[in-house]
Structure formats: C-alpha cells, structure tokens
A and B are shown apart, each in its own frame.
Chain A
Amino acid sequence: MKTNLKARTIVIVVTILLCIYGIIGLPTSKAALEQNVKDSIHLGLDLKGGSHLVLEVQVQDAVKADADTTMDRLKEDLKKQNISWQSMDRNDPQTVAEADKVEVTIKGIPSTQSSAFRSLVAERYPTYILTAVNSTDYTMKLKPSDLIDLKRDTVQRTMDTISNRIDQLGLAEKAVQQYGRAGADYEILVQLPGVDDPARVKELIGTAAVLEIDDVKDGPFPTRDAALAQHGGVLPLNTKLVKSKPRGTAAGEEWYLVGKTPVISGREMRNARPGQDEFRKWETNFNLSPDGGKRFGRYTEANIGNRLAVVLDNQTVSVATIQSKIEDSGRITGLGGEEEATDLSRYLRSGSLPAGVKYLEERSVGPSLGADSIHEGLVAGIVGLAAVIFVMLLYYKRSGVNAVLALILNTVILLAAISYFHAVLTLPGIAGVILTIGMAVDSNVLIFERIREELRTGKGVVAAVDAGFNKAWWTIVDTHVTTVVSCAFLFLFGEGPVKGFAVTLVIGLIANVFTAVFVSRTIFDYELQGHRQMEALSI
C-alpha cells in the first residue's frame, strides 16, 4: 500500500484543486471572488428571497369547454341531418374531483330517428360515449382515455401559458413545473426568486383569462341597449355582446355584436410582437398554429372587408378590418401607437389559459430574512466547526490534526459538489452542512478508537493502524447507509427546503467515506513512511 502513496497523494491534491475551482472559479479580484461564489452556489428561495406558489389547474373547466364545443357542433349537425331535438344541456361540476362527471344531456330525440342519431354521434364524435336514458333522451360523456388525455393536456398547456406570461417579467431564473403526481394531481409549482410581492405576478397569471378572435357582426354601439335596439331587442342566434376595454383617451364604452363561437381561440395563438410598417406606423404581427392558420385562411378569404375583434376575458381589446386572406401569419394595423401595439402583442402572446387556476399555497420570503438567515447559518457553522476541531485536537493529539484536515476537506468537497450538481442550498441545507461536520467526525472517531484498542492489545503501530482501518470499514459503511436511507425518504417526501437538506446531508456523507477512509489513511501512511519501527503514535 505504501508504494502507491504518491499516486494517492496526487489524487487527493487534484480533488482539492477541482473543488476549490468549483467554488471560487479563477478570480482576479476580491469582487470577482465574491461574484464567483454567488454564481456557483445557487441559493434557495428561503435564502435569496422570493415567492413560491402552488396552483391547482381547474381541469373541469377544460372538460366543460370541450362539452360546450361539442354541443354547438352537435346542434349544427342535427340541423343538417334534420333530426329534431327538444333540449340540450350540460351539468356544471365545480371542483377538480368532479371533473369526470361532466356530461351533456340531450332530450327529445324522436325514437324514429334514434338510429340516425346514434350513427351520427358514433361517426362525428368518436371521443364520446352515448348512453340512452330512455327512448328519447341520451347522455354523452367523454371516454375515460380521452378524458385523461384532455386533463393532462390541459395541465401542460396551462404550464406553458403561465411560463410565457411570467417570461415577460424578465426574471433571471424561474421555474414552472408539474407538482405532485402527474396525472392524478393537477398542481403546478411556480417559483419566483427575487419577487417578494407575488400580487403582481398573480395578476399576470390571471385566473381564467380567455382570448378569442371573434367575427364582428355589428357595432360599435354606445350602450348595450342601443345594440339590442338595433336588432329588435333580441340577440340574434349565435351572437353575444362584448364591451370594449376602455382605452386611455377614448371616453365611454363601446359595444360590439360578435359571433359566439370564436374564429380563433387563444390556443392557436403562437406568437405576437409589435413592429412598424413601411410608414413607421405601429402594428402588431402575430403567428398562429398550422391548424389555426388553415382555418383562419379559409375564414379570412371568405370575409374580406369584414371586421374581426380581439376579445380578452369577454372584453374587446382591438377591432380590425380583414384586408386579405391571412393564414398563419398576419398583422393588425391602424393601432394608436407603440404602447397599444406592445400591449396588444402582450395580450396575444399570453394566449389563453385553457382552464382556471386556484391557489393552494403561497410563501414569500423577503430578501432581508434571507440575508439574516445566511449570516446566522455561517456563524453557527463556524462556531460548530471550531468546537469540533478543538475537541478533536485535545482528545486525539496529533492524530486529531489528521481528522481535522479530513473534516475540512469534507466540507470543501461538499460545497464543491453543491456547485457542480447545481443543487440548491437552502437554510436547512446549511444546517445539513453543519450536521455533516458532526457526523463526519464520527468516522474518524471510529477508526481512532479502534487503533487505540489495537495498540492496547500490544500490536505495532503500523499493524494497529492497518487493523483499525480495516475493522472499522464495515461499521462506517453501515452507519452511512442508514442515514442515507433516511435522507432518501426525506428527499422523496419533502419539498423545497427539506429536499435541500436531504441532498446536502447525503452528499456530505458520501464525501465523508472518501475523506475519512482514503484521505485519513493516506495522511497516516505519509506520517509512518520510513518509520517502520515507529514506537509510538500520537493518538
């Protein structure tokens, strides 16, 4: 073993250098040093300050919307096939748990036309199951597999939309991720470092903003009544009235009569940005999805000269005239200026949330608390380390130095590993580092006590050191494995700060096996080198 002492020393020195590099990089000045440390060690929200939101996607909204679209299409199909019906409705479950109960009820299909009805539904609505309640009434429900797909898809699109909207805040790092068990839970986690007032963010995320592009039938009218009066007091079939969002200078409100079913829904909007045309007038350019583009192309070709309204949350934000056929890329011109163009593109870009969200949890930590916590953590760490070093030196004399070196190296490796793995350091994580110091020293104590015992039985120094390390090895493994198992469960079941704690403790323990056994042994061997007949060991 002595022969490869040099090789082992090189391994240790290289490890030390890599770790130091990982933590402080190659700094050229004190400021650069601080900056490098800040960059390499990612701080959790509880140390940096920021907010953490957990939202539940109200998937029942998406299922209901699908049922609504189905009802509209069905009504048209029944008309085309001359099948009469009495009423068509859907129920209205309000919670996520009841999302599976959404169903459409159709009443009054004459029994003579029931087979025509059935084949119509089977052919045109393959994702639905048709059940007969009696000879004239039916219910339709989504097939289970399609229901699951729709729910999962809704969560994914909601995550994407929220991601887009938060992007506009220009946060350096943000995370929108699935939370809980995918497919069973519909929860999203949003982490916003540095944002200690999530009210603004919640505004941006919105709750159930819906974006549509609707076909304008008539308008503008100064009031709702004026609009109705124009049409004999009754809303024409398949239309709705929308108010226009009051813009800064224009006084009062305007009402438009638009088609109920949108031409393009927010789901098809892919991108939008403000720009200037050849006359330096502001306009908004937008892109649609390929499917949306095809549908839009067919529609615009047939409706040149008619108007379209961009409607957000049932309020018109912009009305424009169709100039030519537009497929998946078009522009809205005639806007008031840069601000209007930018705002409009932001609305378009936000797309629409396919379902509402409910906030389940919100935590914000102000940056002052984060700074205080780091400071306190450092103080505790230094005090703990100093106490341990003092006791080790006192109790084990020069071998204590050995242990202290291994301990310091352990801490350095732990910090470097946190940096290299991009693990997040939280306040419990700092506690984990401090705890690692206490636990790491255990390995050394095990070995040293064993060496003392072996020396007491009369063994020579070299043999005693050998025996000490060998006999203690399996005990070290056992003790580390049990704590790692504990931490594994903590990692699985914990969240945020607790996960950070589990990660730091596990990394610290694994590093400890390296430092307490490999490094300590090398230091001992170094000391015993050439002293084969060493008479006593300072331990």
Chain B
Amino acid sequence: MELFKNTNFDFLGKKWPFIIASLVLTAAGWSSIAIHGIQWGIDFKGGALMTVKFASEPQLDKIRSAMSHSSQIHGDVSVQNITGGGATNEVEIGTQLANETQLNVNRQAMQDVLTQTFGQSGGKLDLNNAGAQALVERLRDPLARNGVPMSDQQLQEIVKNILAVRDGKYSGLITDFNQLASVPGMNAAMMNTLQQECYLAPFHVVQVQMVGPKVGAELRNKAILATLYALAGMLVYIAFRFEWIYGLGAVIACFHDTLITVGLFSLFKEELTMTVIAALLTLVGYSMNDTIVIFDRIRENLKLSRREPLENVMNRAVNQTLSRTVMTSGLTFLTAIALFLFGGPVLHGFSFALVCGIIVGTYSSVFVASPIVLFWHNYVDKRKPQRTPPTVTPAASSRVEQPARKSPTRAAK
C-alpha cells in the first residue's frame, strides 16, 4: 500500500495561501493571549493547589465559602472541577501564597477546613486520609485492649495491606468498611477495632502542591531560558550542517509552531505547567526533524541539478519526502492521541501540547521553513550582477550522475 507515489504538488508555488493562514493563526493566538491571558500553572504562578477526590458530586460553592471564611487562609480561593482523562468527582482547590511563611500555614489550614466541613469530629481517625504510621499508632493500643493478639510486625503488615487496597482498588477513597473485608489478615475483631477507632471521610486528598513565589519566579526563568537555548542550539547545528539561512528558516518555523501552540493553549483555556514546557521543547526538536529531512533532500537534489531554479528543486524535494513526512507525523500523532485519550488527567496538558504541536509542526516544515529559504535566495540572487551562464560545460565540472545500472529488475509491487 502506498499513498504518495510520485506526487507532484506545487507546494512552493502555492505558498501564499498557506503563509497567510499561518499569519492568521498566529494572530488569533496572540489576540487570545492578549484577551484571555495565558493560564499559568502552579509551577509558574506560585500558590497552593490541593487536589481532592470526593465520594459523590462535590459542592463547589460550599468548599469555596468554607475556605474563604477560614481565618488562616488569605487571598483568593479558587475551586474547580477537574476534567479530562477519567477523573471523577475531583476538585482542585487553589489558594494564594503571598510569601513563603504562608506555605506551612496554608497546607494545614486547607486540610483543617476540609475536615471541619466534611469530616466528623469526635476524635476518630480519618481512614481515607491517614498514613501508615498514623494508622499503626492509632490501632496498637485498642487492639491490645480488645484482646487481639498481634505483634508489631503483623500490625505493620496488615496496615500496609489495608492501605494498598484503599489506594490500588478504590483510588484512595473507601465508602464502606466492608470494602476492606478482603484484605489479607482481616478478621472480625480487627474489623471491629477499625470501626471503633476510625471513620470514613467522604473525601481523599490526592495531591498537594505548594509553590512559594520565589520558586515560581525561578521556574518561569528556567522555562524561558530552556526554550531560548534550545532554539539557539538548533540554529547553530543546522547552520553548521547546511547554510545559515537554512538554520534561520528552521528556527523561525519552530518559533512559529511554539507561538501557535501557546496561542491554542490560551484559546482552549488549558493550563501551562512545567511538563507542558517539556512537551513544547520536545516539539521543537521534533519539528526540526521534518525540516531537516526536507532540507537534506533539497541539498541532495541541488548536488544533482545545479542549474535548476531553486523553487523547482525544493518542490521536488518536498514531494519526494511527502510520503515519509505524512507517515511519521501520522504515527507520532497516533501515539500522542493515545496519550491524550488514555493518559489520565495529570498528562492532559502535556498530551494536548503534543497533539496540537505535531500538526502545526508538520505544516510549518513544508509551508514555512522552505519558503523562507526560497525568499532569501531569490532576494540574494536578484541583487547579484547578472552573469551569462556558460554555454559549454567544461569537462572538469561534469555533473554527478548515477552509476550505470544493472540489468533492470522488476520494481516493488
């Protein structure tokens, strides 16, 4: 099966519509950024972010007002549902951290507010949010009092099993004590003691991220520096392997990709975190691949046909590599889509960046990078004094030809 046998599209002749489309997309992205701004993730914005999973549909307003009323939490409180990638009944609660001393305070405060609003008072331990050590210490004495013979080793073991079932099977949130009946080592007496000493809160704190303003600023710097250095590195490498204008063309194409992708992030209100920057940098490298493959072919073709106008040579190169470009982009796109659909909420931003970036990247390699080189060469050629081409080709500069072929054999099916 072959989709692109001997195609002959006039890519570079018809470049204007595509360049205009590029400019329009870039402008759309920029205006979205200007109007909606970019959703900076916690890595860059700083603040406290707590991801909480609830047993049933969470009441955002209740959470928000409870947090705002706490005397220890200052600044804005944001509460949103988490969407994407199979998250159910999960909420993200965000509070602001004006300075680092608040870091300690906020975490405990947020936990306390949740326990007060949704948990039970009465001194029992919240099983859905307890760690192994806390559970062991809580159960040790009551078990002894209830006459359940158990060494410390056995207690540690069974607590580990309980938590493994809680986290592995029920994603950290148990709604009924009977769900623990299948834990190895569980018996009636143990279950009794558990029910005596613990209760099941209707929520489970999945993740806490607290980033002080100092770290936020550092990460912002690092992200920008990394992107700039990477682009510079590419420029140097390609300028070294080809001509400098090729390097410039490739970098402009990559830069254009990054801008459009960030614009799309702003448009779709997706969050920009450090992992998204990682995806963007990967795309920079990846988009270079397509561009290099085309440039490689252009260079090869130029060696074979020095007299042909650059535009024709480029066109031929793009057509020749079209099959490979579509296949590779297609396959990488498949893996990116798999990540986007099945990769879970944590990788959501990352896979979104990849999906958008691959499409934009492939497009830019064909319709942006090569035209830039073409423009430059045309511009330079126009300024050179006209030279009459030699009428007789001296033997010394005979062209490179393919070696004499063997007896023709059947080509591929």
Contacts and interface: CB of A to CB of B under 8 A. Distances in A.
Nearest to B286: A483
A361 B342 CA distance: 30
B272 interface: no
B126 to A, nearest CB: 11
B275 A391 contact: no
A449 B327 contact: yes
Interface stretch (B184-192, B205-213, B378-386): B205-213
Contact of B346 (A46, A56, A438, A463): A46
Interface stretch (B12-20, B55-63, B101-109, B368-376): B101-109
B409 A461 contact: yes
Interface in A479-528: 479, 481-490, 492-495, 497-498, 501-502, 505
Contacts of A457: 402, 405
B350 A428 contact: yes
Interface string B208-223: 1111101100110011
Contacts of B104: 202, 359
Given A380-B343, A435-B335, A494-B274, A485 B237 contact: yes
A170 B131 CA distance: 15
Interface residues of B, number: 97
A535 B292 contact: no
Contacts of B166: 368
Contacts of B229: 489, 493
B209 to A, nearest CB: 5
B335 A196 contact: no
B293 to A, nearest CB: 6
B167 interface: yes
Contacts, number: 272
A441 B350 contact: no
A373 interface: yes
A391 B330 contact: yes
A379 interface: yes
A428 B133 contact: no
Contact of B411 (A367, A373, A458, A489): A458
Contact of B226 (A56, A383, A492): A492
B233 interface: yes
A490 B288 CA distance: 16
A489 B225 CA distance: 9
A361 B209 CA distance: 8
A376 B343 contact: yes
B23 interface: no
A443 B86 CA distance: 34
A376 B282 contact: no
Interface string B225-249: 1100110011001100100000000
A369 interface: yes
Contacts of A275: none
Given A196-B131, A360-B100, A461-B409, A376 B86 contact: yes
Contacts of A484: 285
Contacts of A502: 278
A51 to B, nearest CB: 8
Contact of A427 (B222, B334, B347): B347
B338 A383 contact: yes
B282 A483 contact: yes
A461 B147 CA distance: 81
Residue of B222, B226, B335 contacting most chain A CB atoms (<10 Å): B335
B409 A371 contact: no
Residue of B173, B320, B339 contacting most chain A CB atoms (<10 Å): B339
B328 interface: yes
Nearest to A450: B324
A362 interface: yes
A118 interface: no
Interface in B325-344: 327-328, 330-336, 338-339, 341-344
Nearest to B328: A442
B343 A498 contact: no
B150 interface: no
B205 A478 contact: no
A428 B338 contact: no
A287 to B, nearest CB: 29
A495 to B, nearest CB: 7
A32 to B, nearest CB: 18
A158 interface: no
A453 interface: yes
B335 A434 contact: yes
A463 B276 CA distance: 45
Interface string B378-413: 000000000000000000000000100110111111
A442 B237 contact: no
8 contacts: A369-B207, A380-B347, A439-B289, A449-B324, A449-B327, A456-B412, A479-B289, A486-B230
A-B pairs with lowest CB-CB distance, top 7: A368-B172, A486-B285, A376-B344, A438-B332, A483-B285, A384-B338, A438-B335
